[in-house]
Structures are given as C-alpha cells and as structure tokens.
C-alpha cells in the first residue's frame, strides 16, 4: 500500500465521526487518493461539479481530519480524473506546481478566534480582519511591526486561515523573508526551479504574506527582486501583508523605493500587552490545555518580568507540565518550583544535538531519517518530539530550531511543537515517553 493510500485510510475514520452518514456516503466515499505532493494529499473524482462541491463544502472537515492523522500532511488538492493513471498522465505536474505556490504550512490553530485582543493589539486585529475579509481592497500593503513574540506570525496565519476557509478559490502564500531569499538564490543556481519559476510562484498569488522583512536589510539583489514582486502584486490589487521587528524607516540599508512602498499602505504597531491582556492570554491558553488555573496564579505568572507573549505562554506550559508530572494542583508554590533558576541552569547545559540523539536512541531510529525528508509515521513522530523538546527545554529562536531539524521553516516548527503539546494532554503513553526522555536528558 502506497503512503497516500495509508494516509487516506487513517483519515477516513475521523471523517466518519465528524460528517453525517449522508455526506460521507455522498462525497467522502467517492474520493480516491492518488498522490502526495508537498504538504498535500491529492484526491481524485470523476466529476468537476463533485470536485467543486467537495472543495467548497467539505474542505474544513477534511483538513481537520488530516491534521489528526499523525503525519505532516494537513491539506489536500482535488482533481477530476477516473483513476491514478489518468491523473499521472494529465495532472501530476500542474498539481505539483499548484502545491508549490502555497509555500510554508499554515498552523491551523492560529486563527482570529484564538487571538486574544487587548488595548495593545486591537488596532492590528481590526486591520488584519478587514484585510482578510476584503483582500486587496482595504489596506494594501498592511505592514505590521513590533517586538518578537507579540503575535505578528499569529496574525499573518490568522489571515491565511480565514481566507482559505471563506474564500478557498484565492491562492494564499505565506513565507518568511529568509525563505524568499533562499529560494531566490536557489533559482539563480542549478536547482530545480528557474528564476521564471520563482517569479511565477510569488507573483502569481492573490495574497502574499511575508514574515520578518527586516532580513531584507543589506541584501541589494533580494531587495530588487522583492520590489518588483511587491509592485506587480499591488498593481493588480493583490493583497500584500508584511511583518517586521521595526518600522520601515529603521530598517538599515533599505532602498528608498521599497521604504516608500512599505509606508504607502497601513502601518500597524503591535505593542506589548498590558497586565489584563496578559492574564486573558494565559487564561485562554490554560483553557486550550484543558487545565483550570486560579486567577491568582495566572496573575502571578502574568506579572513576571518580560513582555514577550511567547515566553509568557512557555512559562505556563512548563507549569502545567509540572502539575501533570507530579500530580499536584497548580499553586504559586508550584509555579516557583517549575520555573526555578536551577532547572534553567540544567537546561542551558543541553545542546539541541543531545536532544535529537536522545530521541533517536529512545525510538530506535537514525538521526538521518529524523532530520531528513521522509514522511513515514515512524520518523515524523520522533521529529515532532525533537522539535517539542528543543523548544521546551532550550531558549532558541524558532528559525534556529528549524535549522537543526533539517532546515525546516519556523511555521513547521510551531506546528510540530503545538501538535505534540496538544497530543500530550490526552495521550498518556506519549506523555510518559516524553517525561522519560526528559529524565534521561536531565540525568534525573
């Protein structure tokens, strides 16, 4: 049985649970898996009307079921073909090109509903929602800037998730500036993609979302390419949304023509959240982890030093983990124990390489397979556990984590980290295994 057949077979039981028997018999049972391309499974059906109906009405349920299949495939394409042979003869190359244009995977948990709104970010939220509802019409470009860990990537992916759900016919591409740069350089070399392929990928979309544009600084050739991409999209009323850690005028050695383009749309500054918003964020995250925490404890964590929301959530995650590990209620005393400096000192001695080697040894798989491109379940699960442990036990940027796990981008890192954290809440076996690995790493 091929990998795409196995993936679809493991997805069907979830679809049976989440769709009515009529919908399942009418639509799902008549879909045939024929391929896996990029981060999508390719399904075929004999009728175009049928394919359009599935894409419009069943997309969310199919994607949700794929996300629970313990693979890195969480989206699909659908083609009109009688069987795999007809698909290979007529569609495979075009589907591959279509999938490629979607760029990095979008974390399905980063939605507008899961974004906690407060005085520091309500302007950003309103602007992003307006852009998602009317791409290319409201604010173009939308330039969001602010410090790290304040929710800029969340907002970008919320826009992508909203458009994919409400306007599935639009082509949305999310990528980091680093990704844009690397792919441009590869297209100029001897890689599979030519400069024309690269330009078609970025200029042929309806919505372009680029994270961390500060990395354009001092890269003259990349700035020129980005300028032409930006211009072509905006002239065609295609939506562009950019994030940065500083306003355009503070990006070093940025061409004036790019700076003025960035400032020609809507500039939105995201500020660190106030105490009430920090408490609201912690409350929402604790609810997502199905763990009720007293408001006094949430306030205590929220009042700790640092404005980085990501760090704040990381602290809560450590406390929740400690509570489950020691089977103790979450109190201020437990918070202090879980976050004490001695534990941090032990963690700082660790290297990412140590964590990867320990996970590989625990699951009896090779490091080459875990950090490689294989998508077998036996390698995907240890790979995602490596990501979770590195992000949980080490203070490394997400981009760095992606680099040590085979050069993956930071959105994939976020997805893997969150997937394992979510699964640990209900999977006792996984919870125990990760705890055992931690003990080995900390030599407890």
Indicate the pLDDT class of residue 206, thresholds 50, 70 and 90: very high
Element at 32 (helix H, strand E): strand 32-37
For residue 227, pLDDT over 60 is answered with yes
pLDDT score of 409 more than 70: yes
Could you give the CA distance from residue 232 to residue 238 in angstroms, rounded to a whole number?
Answer: 9
**Looking at 93-102, 263-272, 430-439, which range is the least confident one?**
93-102
Q: Which is more confident, 209 or 106?
A: 209
pLDDT band at 81 (very low <50, low <70, confident <90, very high): confident
Domain boundaries, the chain: 3-100, 122-269, 275-339, 344-442
Query: Which string of DSSP letters, residue by residue, matches 84-121?
Result: HHHHHHHTHHHHHHHHHTTBSPPPTT--STTSPP-TTT
**pTM to 2 decimal places:** 0.63
Residue 103 reports pLDDT greater than 80: no
pLDDT-based confidence at residue 131 (cuts at 50, 70, 90) = very high
DSSP 240: E
The C-alpha angle 438, 104, 270, rounded to 5 degrees, equals 85
pLDDT above 90: percentage of residues in the chain? 21
Select the highest-mean-pLDDT range: 197-201, 298-302, 305-309.
Answer: 298-302
Nearest to 136 by CA among 6, 33, 35, 241: 241
Asked if residue 71 has pLDDT above 80, the reply is no
- Kind and range of the H or E run holding 79: strand 75-80
Q: Are strands 40-45 and 32-37 parallel, antiparallel or unpaired?
A: antiparallel
- Which of 18-27, 85-94, 259-268, 389-398 has the least mean pLDDT? 85-94
Topology classification of domain 275-339: Helicase, Ruva Protein; domain 3 (1.10.8)
Fold entry, domain 3-100: GMP Synthetase; Chain A, domain 3 (3.30.300)
Please say if the pLDDT value at position 163 is more than 60: yes
Question: Looking at the domain 344-442, which fold is it?
Answer: Chromosomal Replication Initiator Protein Dnaa; Chain: A; (1.10.1750)
Quickly list DSSP for 333-389. HHHHHHT-HHHHHHHHH--HHHHHHHHHHHHT--HHHHHSS---HHHHHHHHHHHHH
Condensed to tens digits (0 to 9), the pLDDT of residues 305-363 reads 665 787 788 888 888 888 887 788 888 888 888 877 434 444 456 788 999 999 999 99
| Mean pLDDT value across residues 210-222 | 85
Does residue 1 have a pLDDT over 70? Answer: no
Class of domain 122-269: alpha beta
**pLDDT 10s digits, 41-70:** 889 988 888 888 888 888 888 988 888 776
Decide: 343 and 314 in contact? Cβ < 8 Å: no
Q: Show the tokens assigned to 143.
A: 């330039």
Mean pLDDT of the chain: 83
In whole angstroms, how large is the CA radius of gyration of the chain?
Answer: 22
In percent, how much of the chain has pLDDT > 70? Answer: 90
**pLDDT number for residue 241:** 96
pLDDT computed for residue 101 by the predictor: 46
Question: Where does residue 255 rank: exposed (0-12), middle (13-18), buried (19+ CB within 10 A)?
Answer: middle
């Amino acid at each position: 049985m091929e990998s795409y057949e196995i993936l679809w077979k493991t997805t069907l039981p979830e679809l049976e649970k989440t769709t009515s028997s009529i919908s399942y018999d009418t639509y799902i049972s008549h879909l045939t898996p024929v391929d896996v391309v990029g981060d999508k499974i390719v399904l075929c059906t004999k009728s175009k009307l049928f394919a359009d109906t599935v894409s419009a009405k069943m997309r969310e349920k199919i994607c949700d079921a794929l996300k629970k299949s313990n693979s890195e495939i969480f989206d699909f394409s659908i083609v009109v073909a009688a069987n795999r042979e007809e698909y290979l003869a007529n569609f495979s190359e075009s589907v591959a090109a279509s999938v490629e244009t979607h760029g990095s995977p979008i974390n399905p948990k980063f939605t507008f509903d899961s974004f906690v709104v407060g005085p520091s970010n309500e302007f950003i939220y309103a602007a992003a929602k307006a852009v998602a509802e009317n791409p290319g019409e409201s604010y173009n470009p939308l330039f969001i800037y602010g410090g790290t860990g304040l929710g800029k990537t969340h907002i970008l992916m919320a826009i992508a998730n909203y458009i994919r759900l409400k306007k599935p016919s639009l082509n949305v591409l999310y990528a980091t500036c680093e990704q844009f740069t690397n792919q441009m350089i590869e297209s100029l070399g001897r890689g599979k993609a030519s400069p024309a392929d690269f330009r078609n990928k970025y200029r042929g979309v309806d919505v372009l979302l680029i994270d961390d544009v500060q990395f354009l600084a001092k890269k003259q050739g990349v700035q020129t390419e980005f300028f032409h991409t930006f211009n072509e999209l905006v002239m065609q009323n295609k939506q562009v949304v950019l994030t940065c850690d500083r306003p355009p005028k503070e990006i070093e050695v940025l061409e004036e023509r790019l700076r003025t383009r960035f400032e020609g749309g809507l500039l939105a500054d995201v500020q660190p959240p106030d105490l009430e918003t920090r408490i609201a964020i912690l409350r929402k995250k604790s609810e997502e982890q199905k763990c009720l925490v007293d408001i006094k404890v949430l306030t205590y964590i929220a009042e700790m030093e640092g404005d980085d929301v990501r760090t704040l959530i990381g602290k809560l995650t450590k406390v929740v983990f400690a509570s489950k590990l020691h089977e103790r209620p979450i109190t201020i005393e437990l918070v202090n124990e879980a976050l004490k400096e001695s534990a941090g000192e032990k963690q700082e001695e660790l290297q990412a390489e140590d964590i990867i080697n320990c996970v590989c040894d625990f699951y009896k798989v090779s490091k080459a397979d875990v950090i490689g491109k294989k998508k077998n379940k036996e390698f995907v699960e240890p790979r995602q556990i490596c990501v979770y442990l590195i992000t949980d036990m080490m203070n490394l940027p997400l981009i760095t984590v992606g680099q040590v796990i085979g050069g993956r981008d930071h959105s994939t890192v976020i997805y893997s980290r969150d997937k394992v954290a979510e699964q640990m809440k209900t999977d006792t076996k996984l919870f125990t295994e990760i705890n055992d690995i931690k003990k080995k790493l900390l030599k407890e």
